[in-house]
Amino acid sequence: MSVFSEGLRKKIDHYLTRYETRRSAILPVLHCIQDEHGWIKPEHIEELHSKYELDRVQVKEVITFYDIYKDKPTRKFLIRYCQNITCTMLGAKEAICRIEDHIKKLEAELGDDTPFGLEKFPCLGKCDGAPVMLVNKERVEHATVDKIDGLLSKYAPLPK
Partner 1 sequence: MTQEKPKILLKFEGMPNGRALKTYMAHSGYEALKKAFAMSKEDVINEVKASGLRGRGGAGFPTGLKWSFVPKDMPGPKYLICNNDESEPGTFKDRHLCSVSPHMVIEGMIIAGFAIGANKGYIYTRYEFQEEIGQVEAAIKEAYEAGLLGKNILGSGFDFDLDHYTGAGAYICGEETGLISSLEGKKGQPKLKPPFPAVSGYLARPTIVNNTETLANVPHIILNGAKEFRKYGSEKSPGTKLFSISGALGKPGVYEVPLGYSWNRFLNEEAGGLLPGLSLKALIPGGASAPLLTPKECEDLTLDYECMAAKGTMLGSGAIMVIDNRQSMVELLRCTIEFFAHESCGQCTPCREGTGWLNNIMVGINDREVGADSVDRLHLVSKQMGGRTICALSDACAMPVMSYVQKFSDELKAHLAKG
Residues of this chain that interact with ligand FES (CB under 6 A) are 82, 84-87, 123-124, 126-127, 130, 132
Pick one of ligand FES, partner 1, none as the site partner of residue 66 (Cβ within 5 to 8 A by kind): partner 1
- Residue 128, interface with partner 1 (CB under 8 A)? yes
Other CB atoms within 10 Å distance of the CB of residue 84:
18
With helix as H, strand as E and coil as C, how does the chain read? CCCCCHHHHHHHHHHHHHCCCHHHHHHHHHHHHHHHHCCCCHHHHHHHHHHHCCCHHHHHHHHHHCCCCCCCCCCCEEEEEECCHHHHHCCHHHHHHHHHHHHHHHHHHHHHHCCEEEEEECCCCCHHHCCCEEECCEEECCCCCCCHHHHHCCCCCCCC
> Closest approach of Cβ 71 to partner 1, in Å?
13
Rounded distance between C-alpha atoms, residue 12 and residue 67, angstroms: 21
Nearer to ligand FES, 127 or 151 (CB): 127
- Residue 134, interface with partner 1 (CB under 8 A)? yes
Stretch that binds partner 1, among 5-13, 55-63, 95-103, 107-115 (CB under 8 A): 55-63
- Residue 97, interface with partner 1 (CB under 8 A)? no
Nearer to ligand FES, 112 or 128 (CB): 128
- Residue 156, interface with partner 1 (CB under 8 A)? no
Site for partner 1 in 1-40 (CB under 8 A): 18-28, 30-31
Identify the residue among 12, 130, 135, 143 touching partner 1 (CB under 8 A): 130
